[in-house]
Chain A
Amino acid sequence: DIQMTQSPSSLSASVGDRVTITCQASQDINNFLNWYQQKPGKAPKLLIYDASILETGVPSRFSGSGSGTDFTFTISSLQPEDIATYYCQQYDDLPPAFGQGTKLEIK
């Protein structure tokens, strides 16, 4: 099974900061990588698919990049409503696998 490793596991940043989360796959997954946002007590929400394509309606401050084994998720200017846990997920091979999550907090 493909393992997905996110870093950091938690992150504290200030409003307006640029925030970056990385996700590493245990083998080449091409660009078959998605990013989700989950707020406390809520279902996950798809933000980015195929590594870099922004889902409809998602603010442009969110972006993704990478291919192969190394991927990056960026919030260009952190907003208070971005407080959540973020997950990457690969779908290059079965089973689809999620990273362990990155909990983002406001400093």
Chain B
Amino acid sequence: EVQLVESGGGLVQPGGSLRLSCAASGFTFSSAAMHWVRQAPGKGLEYVSAISGNGGSTYYVDSVKGRFTISRDNSKNTLYLQMGSLRAEDTAVYYCARDRSFMFSAFDIWGQGTMVTVSS
């Protein structure tokens, strides 16, 4: 079964750090570009970051650039999002998603999401 499972969310203080993980199974992970998308409570979807299949190319939306780092370990079929200098506005459910084609197309497989709460 094709599946993505996120973990690592939780409560963190403003200015703190957190690392999210996304474990993939059921497909050739190293061939797939991957993305992070977030959703603040009661709000819409917001694009966050992308990484190519071999990890050589990355992209960040301006609001997280310099604070978040996307990476992957293809030997472990796992995607990561290292989040630093966290702000209240980073509070959201974070979803990992697979790109169905090249690096930016449609997101055809999504994880269940992991909640990140930034609060003192």
Partner of A97, one of B35, B47, B62, B100: B47
Q: Using a Cβ–Cβ cut-off of 8 Å, how many residues does chain A contribute to the interface with B?
A: 23
How far, in angstroms, from A87 to B37 measured CA to CA in the complex? 13
How far, in angstroms, from A38 to B45 measured CA to CA in the complex? 10
For B13-37 the 0/1 string (1 means CB < 8 A from A) is 0000000000000000000000101
For A23-54 the 0/1 string (1 means CB < 8 A from B) is 00000000010101010001111100110000
Report B-chain residues with C-beta under 8 Å of the C-beta of A100: 44
Residue B53 interfacial (CB < 8 Å):
no
B100–A87 touching, CB < 8 Å = no
Residue B110 interfacial (CB < 8 Å):
yes
Residue A98 interfacial (CB < 8 Å):
yes
How far, in angstroms, from A91 to B95 measured CA to CA in the complex? 18
In the complex with contacts A43-B112, A44-B95, A44-B107, A96-B100 CB distance below 8 A = no
CB within 8 Å of A: which B98-120 residues: 100, 104-108, 110-113
How many A-B contacts are there with CB distance less than 8 Å?
56
CB within 8 Å of B: which A49-107 residues: 49-50, 55, 87, 89, 91, 94-101
Report B-chain residues with C-beta under 8 Å of the C-beta of A87: 44-45
Closest beta carbon of chain A to B5's beta carbon, Å: 11
Residue B46 interfacial (CB < 8 Å):
yes
A residues engaging B (CB < 8 A)?
32, 34, 36, 38, 42-46, 49-50, 55, 87, 89, 91, 94-101
